[in-house]
A and B are shown apart, each in its own frame.
Chain A
Amino acid sequence: SQQGEEDPQALSIQEGENATMNCSYKTSINNLQWYRQNSGRGLVHLILIRSNEREKHSGRLRVTLDTSKKSSSLLITASRAADTASYFCATEDNYGQNFVFGPGTRLSVLP
């Protein structure tokens, strides 16, 4: 059962611009994670934010979580061509035993 849903499905920006992608989910969560997937590769963990946190930073990444709106956003500042990838949010499944991924946002950063 799909919990998270990323928006937009695809995003194309110029190098140096900021990229923002959003994730909405349906039921209450304990934490939410963001992952990156380069073409043809496995997923790489970016950041985990817990339900009692509102904002978290990691380098050029900034994640926010609004549990009242059941949504999260991932901001990548000063994007680089190497940021071109698909980005997924992951939340708990209905049983709280596994995490469930959305369909992802495909980001293209043009040089």
Chain B
Amino acid sequence: NAGVTQTPKFQVLKTGQSMTLQCAQDMNHEYMSWYRQDPGMGLRLIHYSVGAGITDQGEVPNGYNVSRSTTEDFPLRLLSAAPSQTSVYFCASGRGWNTEAFFGQGTRLTVV
């Protein structure tokens, strides 16, 4: 049972480049979300999904897109990378917001 798998673990982008952070879970969870973690700020919600075909914005959605075509996958797209998007990104899944969340190991992204 792999849990929540994020790829890649590390990535360096140039300003203006686009890329997709992958997230997959094998626990049949309906709820999936993306957070970014910056020093001293905890985790901030970027986008979330309560099921296949349903996505919504979190606290800091600008510059990011998501889609949820299957229950298992929830990719996060950076449209045009900016240095302000340098951060550690975490994907999480769960049965709902009021139950425990399972986190991936994170993607450390640097935009230069």
Query: A53 CB to closest chain B CB, in angstroms?
Result: 13
Evaluate contact between B40 and A98: CB separation under 8 angstroms. no
Can you name the residue of chain A whose Cβ is closest to the Cβ of B35? A101
Chain A CB within 8 A of B104 CB: yes
Within 8 A of B (CB), among A18-66: 30-31, 33, 35, 40-45, 48
Contacts of B97 in A (CB 8 A): 92, 96-99
Annotate B64-94 by CB proximity to A: 1 below 8 A, 0 otherwise. Answer: 0000000000000000000000000010100
Considering only CB atoms, which chain B residue lies closest to A103 in the complex? B42
Q: Which residue of chain B has the shortest Cβ distance to A31 in the bound complex?
A: B98
Do B42 and A104 touch (CB < 8 A)? Answer: yes
Task: Using A41-B105, A42-B90, A42-B105 as known contacts, say yes or no to A100 and B100 having CB atoms under 8 A apart.
Answer: no
Residue among A45, A88, A98, A102 facing the most chain B CB atoms (10 A cut-off): A98
Instruction: Tell me whether A45 and B100 are in contact in the complex, defined as CB-CB below 8 angstroms, given that A101-B42, A102-B42, A103-B41 are known contacts.
Output: yes
A-B contacts, 24 of them at CB < 8 A, read A33-B101, A35-B101, A41-B105, A42-B90, A43-B90, A44-B103, A45-B100, A45-B101, A48-B99, A48-B100, A88-B42, A90-B101, A97-B48, A98-B33, A98-B45, A98-B48, A98-B58, A99-B97, A99-B101, A101-B43, A102-B42, A103-B40, A103-B41, A104-B42
Contact between chains at B42 and A92 (CB < 8 Å) = no
Q: Which residues of B lie under 8 Å from residue A100 when comparing CB positions?
A: 45, 59
- By a CB distance below 8 angstroms, the chain A residues around B42 are 2, 88, 101-104
Q: Is A1 an interface residue (CB 8 A)?
A: yes
The listed residue (B41, B45, B103) touching A43 by CB distance below 8 A is B103
C-alpha gap A96/B101 in the complex (Å): 15
Shortest Cβ distance from B104 into A: residue? A42
Q: How far is the CA of A8 from the CA of B103 in the complex (A)?
A: 24
From 31 to 46 in chain B, residues with beta carbon under 8 angstroms from any chain A beta carbon are: 33, 35, 40-43, 45
Q: Which residues of A contact B45 (CB under 8 A)?
A: 93, 98, 100
B72 to A: closest C-beta gap in Å: 18
Contact digits for A75-106, partner B, Cβ 8 Å, 1 yes 0 no: 00000000000001010110011111111100
